[in-house]
Amino acid sequence: MQKKFVTNLALLLLLNFLIKPFWIFGIDRTVQNMLPLDYGMYFALFNFSLLFNIVLDLGITNFNNRNIAQNNHLLSEYFSGITIFKGLLFLVYLAITLVVGFVLGYDSERFYILLFLSFNQFLISFVQYLRSNITALQLFRLDSLLSVLDKSLMILFCSLLLWGNFFSFSFTILHFIYAQTLAYLITALIVFAIVWVKSAHFTLKINIPFLKKIIRQTFPYALLILTMVFYYRIDAVMLDFMLDDGEKEVSIYAQAYRLMDAFNQIGVLFAGLLLPMFAYLIKEKQDLAPLVKLSFSLIFLMAITIAAITFNFSEKIMNLLYHFDTDSSSKVVVVLMFCFVFIATSYIFGTLLTANGSLASLNKIALIGVLINVGLNSFLIPEYKALGAAYASLITQCIIIIGQLYLSKKTFSFTINYFFIFRMIIFLITLFFTLHWIAKLMDGLILQIGISLLCAFILGLVLKIINPKEIMKILLKNEM
């Protein structure tokens, strides 16, 4: 299983590193630089559309991934029933989102944008459900290709709109949204066709007993995702709602958040691979510790290196990427990138606990996270604005991961490797000291980041946080 994880993770990261950075920094960043205030409104509405996203899924994707991974024969039964159910959930989600938007006083322009963003959320949710069937069947290479399909299409459509010189009209935020909708729709149709082929049959029929069964079984997953979405996404909504200059502060926050979200996609890829693998190992009662240690070592080393680089070069990075109030966003991005370290760790241990079905305990931790996050935002945003929202996220994520680590140790009886922790601490101290001197002694951001990454990699090898011999053994090992 370790070999399967390493090889498929390498393919997944390669494809996503080829495609998604260009989307985030080439297309998305360009749109924000062209339309900073319109983008601020878009980002706030996008985050608002995510708040009730759980209604579209109700935990079905994680539930389906775990169950199909352990029982492949259920695909045909689940595929038909869940597909119909997802369509019904979209109608409920759309009604809730638009009603709450009306209560908040959104005008006709925001309602129109929200309508398309809501449809996009449905398409994203539907594609994620469909892909959960593909990973559950252990078809990781196919899923790796599908993981970049929507962004590849968006890049194509937006590139034509931004730089193609084929159209006489001026580019607006609506064109940006329309391009996303078309890309998601095409992706959904392609992935649906693939799963249809893999399934024995598909019937367009509402099965009430099956729907009741799914709702009962997925409710804990739904509650977990709902609470997680709130403490991940409520920041931008509260900034927009609480401040007179909300759109400006959301735009500042979005600049910093985009950088964190870009690297956060790596964590999402880890979790997507690990969930069915953990579920399989738990079912077969195999040792989880080697895969947990390997995945944690890789993602933690990456996350803390990125955070350290951002800490030392935040102003240069934000000035290179953006043109709007980079002094403010450079402070926010430092806080959010340390927040990313905790989020990345959660992608390992939160996924492990989800695969184990420890939903009740995870929900308690997540609910505490929501209460802390909303409380801190309410207190910090009026005075510190975007920076206050970032600090609220950092404190929340720190508390969340402490709870998940404690729960993982208790549930799986992991032994604490104090020597490994000691090496991690030495790595942290040495890395920050080294990067501090790189910032003082060298000029040129690209050179500074390149040398920093090289130093982090060498340091990881010296301290055996990454062990090439161990990874080669895994790659050469024959697995069923």
DSSP 380-448: HHHHHHHHHHHHHHHHHHHHHHHHHHHHHHHHHTPPP-HHHHHHHHHHHHHHHHHHHHHHHH---HHHH
The rounded distance, in Å, linking the Cα atoms of 206 and 74 is: 17
Q: What is the per-residue pLDDT across 349-402, written as a single tens digit (0 to 9) for each?
A: 988 988 887 878 888 888 898 899 999 999 999 989 899 999 999 999 999 999
**Separation in Å, CA 266 to CA 9, 50, 100, 337:** 10, 20, 32, 13
47 in Cβ contact with 237 (< 8 Å): yes
Tracing tokens 């690990």 back to the chain, one arrives at 274
The rounded distance, in Å, linking the Cα atoms of 21 and 264 is: 12
Between 12 and 357, residue with greater pLDDT? 357
Between 422 and 105, residue with greater pLDDT? 422
Average pLDDT over residues 93-119: 89
The rounded distance, in Å, linking the Cα atoms of 161 and 183 is: 14
pLDDT score for 470: 63
Q: Which two tokens stand for residue 168?
A: 């006489």
Mean pLDDT estimate for the chain: 82
pTM score above 0.85: no
CA 176 to chain centre: 21
The rounded distance, in Å, linking the Cα atoms of 352 and 44 is: 32
Nearest to 63 by CA among 48, 85, 44, 46: 85
The rounded distance, in Å, linking the Cα atoms of 60 and 125 is: 10
Query: Taking each helix axis from N to C terminus, what angle separates 208-242 and 36-51, rounded to the nearest 10 degrees?
Result: 140
Nearest to 109 by CA among 215, 37, 200, 168: 37
pLDDT score for 334: 93
pLDDT score for 454: 92
- Among positive and negative, which fits the CA dihedral 57, 63, 68, 73? negative
DSSP letter at 322? -
Q: Does the pLDDT of residue 93 top 80, yes or no?
A: yes
Average pLDDT over residues 12-21: 70
pLDDT score for 405: 92
With cut-offs at 50, 70 and 90, classify the pLDDT of residue 473.
low
- Is residue 301 packed enough to be buried (19+ CB in 10 Å), middle (13-18) or exposed (0-12)? buried
Between 74 and 167, residue with greater pLDDT? 167
Between 24 and 422, residue with greater pLDDT? 422
Least confident of 84-98, 108-122, 141-155, 181-195: 141-155
pLDDT score for 451: 93
Q: What percent of the chain has pLDDT over 90?
A: 24
The rounded distance, in Å, linking the Cα atoms of 478 and 66 is: 25
pLDDT score for 4: 57
Q: Which two tokens stand for residue 166?
A: 């084929």
Q: Does the pLDDT of residue 58 top 80, yes or no?
A: no
76 in Cβ contact with 201 (< 8 Å): yes
With cut-offs at 50, 70 and 90, classify the pLDDT of residue 165.
confident
Q: Does the pLDDT of residue 75 top 50, yes or no?
A: yes
Q: Does the pLDDT of residue 213 top 80, yes or no?
A: no
345's CB contacts (< 8 A; 6+ apart) are 296, 299, 300, 303, 401, 404, 405
pLDDT score for 67: 65
Say which amino acid occupies 270: F
The rounded distance, in Å, linking the Cα atoms of 4 and 169 is: 49
pLDDT score for 54: 73
Tracing tokens 């760790």 back to the chain, one arrives at 345
Q: What is the per-residue pLDDT across 270-321, written as a single tens digit (0 to 9) for each?
A: 777 787 778 878 888 888 888 888 888 888 898 999 999 999 999 898 888 8
Q: Does the pLDDT of residue 181 top 90, yes or no?
A: yes
Nearest to 314 by CA among 239, 387, 380, 250: 387
149 in Cβ contact with 18 (< 8 Å): no
